[in-house]
Amino acid sequence: MDLLRLITCGNVDDGKSTLLGRLLYDTKSIFEDQWDAVQRASERRGDTGTNLALLTDGLRAEREQGITIDVAYRYFATPRRKFIMADCPGHFQYTRNMVTGASSAQLALLVVDVRNGLTEQTCRHAFLATLLRIKHLIVCVNKMDLVGFEQAAFDRVREQFMAYAARLDTADIQFIPISALQGDNIVTKSAAMPWYEGAPLLYTLETVYVRNDANHVDPRFPVQTVIRPQDPAAPEFRGLAGQVASGVFRPGEEVLHLPTGLTARITAIHGPAGPVAEAFYPMSVVIELDRDLDISRGEMLARPNNQPTVGQDLDVLLCWLGTKPLEPARRYVLRHTTCETGCLIREVRYKLDITTLHRNQDGTPLTMNDLARVSLHTAVPLFFDSYKQNRQTGSILLVDELTNATVAAGMIR
């Protein structure tokens, strides 16, 4: 069985909670005691019917205010696949939350109300999903029951969306007409929409082809820590522990160490269950080399003929997450792969309006949920690739030195 990580987004009244509730319910992922607790809580609050949002709104503040504040993770499985679902709030700090949820997702589920057509909110969700390099989008055109299951209404939304998506860098977009409330095209094909020739939602989720999504081309191994047992039984052992960021590493191959540029040959790769013949993303392994190079955390193994960019100046699309605005004169802590260093923001080149995709150069400060293209200068050279090519070596976080809060997430251009 394999694993699919997905993110769900939608407007408040587009029926996202109903859809999630139905997916969980129909895959038998809601337990009786959870269901009873949600029903009791709904009654106590005076909600009409069972409030499915209470399944995921787990925090006291969320339940009191009736809003989703934070990303919630839900788990469900079918005999084919296990799903990890990041459920993102509809509009509360949506950029911050959606970027967080999308950073590890392979697929985005966008829920739209067929009666409203394409809204600004949906455009933003689609834009952020593609910005974070989610390769598969499924647009669930919901509430088909309220338009008489008419194909024309569905086609209208699809055409609007495709016109917008022409400006996005997306590979795979699918549209499914559904009624989350009535269960049409969720688990089984809807008899009310014979004109729809595609598969229902759950089957689509189970069969989306994601095996080609990881980068298996560019070998990158950020060194996390060095393992040296203080054990007389293994006095010579010196292994480099880390998670393969991309590419494939095999025993016998030559690797290049950054920053020194020295080369060595891999003698063995140890996985959790013992030696392995190859290591690829996202395996956590220990690599042994034939030469005793001086290697420590924050450094990288690559290949002599396939190396990352080495440099201190980064062109980054930054999403500001912090409650306080960016202070351009200040030093921030930067985290990139296993490396932590300082950085300065040299220039905010423009802010990006994610609704219109316009570039705004009015010089206003960067505040929470803003996206901006910035130039960064780091205290030490980094070994990086563009985010577009490599999610692991192309992503950074900025941390406030005084509060230790994570204040920004960046994608290297």
Partner 1 sequence: MFHLQLSQLDLLEHEAIHIIREAAVQFPQAAILFSGGKDSLVLAAVARKAFAPARPPFALLHIDTGHNFPETLIYRDQIARDFGYRLHVRSVQDTLDAGRAAEETGPNASRNAIQTTTLLEAIAELQLDAALGGGRRDEEKARAKERIFSHRDAFGQWDPKNQRPELWNLYNGRKKHGEHFRVFPLSNWTELDVWAYIAREQLPLPSLYFAHEREVFLRQGTLLAVSPHLPLQPGESARRERVRFRTVGDMTCTGAVRSAAATLPEIIAEVAAARQTERGTRYDDRRSETAMEDRKRQGYF
Q: Could you say whether residue 70 binds partner 1 (CB under 8 A)? A: yes
Among 25, 27, 41, 350, interactor with partner 1 by CB under 8 A: 41
Among 18, 51, 100, 204, interactor with partner 1 by CB under 8 A: 100
Among 56, 142, 378, 390, interactor with partner 1 by CB under 8 A: 56
Question: Can you read off the two tokens belonging to residue 312?
Answer: 């201190």
**Residues 303 to 322 in contact with partner 1, rule: CB under 8 A:** 321
Phi, psi dihedrals of residue 213, rounded to the nearest 5°: -75, -35
**Residues 321 to 350 in contact with partner 1, rule: CB under 8 A:** 321, 333, 335-336, 338
By C-alpha distance, which of 283, 254, 255, 287 is closest to 269? 287
Burial of 141 (0-12, 13-18, 19+ CB in 10 A): buried
Q: Could you say whether residue 413 binds partner 1 (CB under 8 A)? A: no
Among 6, 24, 99, 240, interactor with partner 1 by CB under 8 A: 99
**Residues 137 to 196 in contact with partner 1, rule: CB under 8 A:** none
**Residues 236 to 255 in contact with partner 1, rule: CB under 8 A:** 237, 241-243, 248
Q: Which residue has the tokens 């690797």?
A: 255
Query: Binding residues for partner 1, how many (CB under 8 A)?
Result: 74
Closer CB to partner 1, 86 or 186, in the complex: 86
By C-alpha distance, which of 289, 287, 239 is closest to 264? 289
Among 12, 67, 181, 214, interactor with partner 1 by CB under 8 A: 214
Closer CB to partner 1, 84 or 344, in the complex: 84
Q: Could you say whether residue 80 binds partner 1 (CB under 8 A)? A: no
**Contact stretch for partner 1 (CB under 8 A) within 97-105, 174-182, 252-260, 302-310:** 97-105
CB of 72 vs partner 1, minimal distance in Å: 5
Among 12, 67, 168, 283, interactor with partner 1 by CB under 8 A: 283
Closer CB to partner 1, 75 or 195, in the complex: 75
Q: How far apart are CA 55 and CA 62, in angstroms?
A: 11
Closer CB to partner 1, 5 or 143, in the complex: 5
Give percent helix, percent strand, percent coil of the chain, each to the nearest 5.
20, 35, 45
Beta partners for residue 287, in sequence order: 240, 269
Burial of 381 (0-12, 13-18, 19+ CB in 10 A): middle
Among 225, 260, 364, 367, interactor with partner 1 by CB under 8 A: 225
Closer CB to partner 1, 21 or 177, in the complex: 21
Among 27, 42, 50, 104, interactor with partner 1 by CB under 8 A: 104
Q: Could you say whether residue 276 binds partner 1 (CB under 8 A)? A: no
Helix (H, G, I), strand (E, B) or coil at 163: helix
Q: Could you say whether residue 211 binds partner 1 (CB under 8 A)? A: yes
Phi, psi dihedrals of residue 216, rounded to the nearest 5°: -105, 15
**Contact stretch for partner 1 (CB under 8 A) within 138-146, 168-176, 197-205, 270-278:** 270-278
| Contact yes or no for 280/244 (Cβ under 8 A) | yes
User: In Å, how far are 31, 87, 171 from 5, measured between CA atoms?
Assistant: 22, 11, 17
Q: How far apart are CA 386 and CA 389, in angstroms?
A: 5
CB of 126 vs partner 1, minimal distance in Å: 19
Q: Could you say whether residue 2 binds partner 1 (CB under 8 A)? A: yes
Binding mask 373-412 for partner 1 (x = CB under 8 A): ------------------xx--xxx-x----xxx--x---
CB of 162 vs partner 1, minimal distance in Å: 29
CB of 86 vs partner 1, minimal distance in Å: 10
Q: How far apart are CA 20 and CA 83, in angstroms?
A: 12
Give the dihedral sign, CA 33/36/42/48: positive
User: In Å, how far are 1, 240, 291, 370 from 246, measured between CA atoms?
Assistant: 22, 16, 23, 29
By C-alpha distance, which of 333, 291, 297 is closest to 221? 297
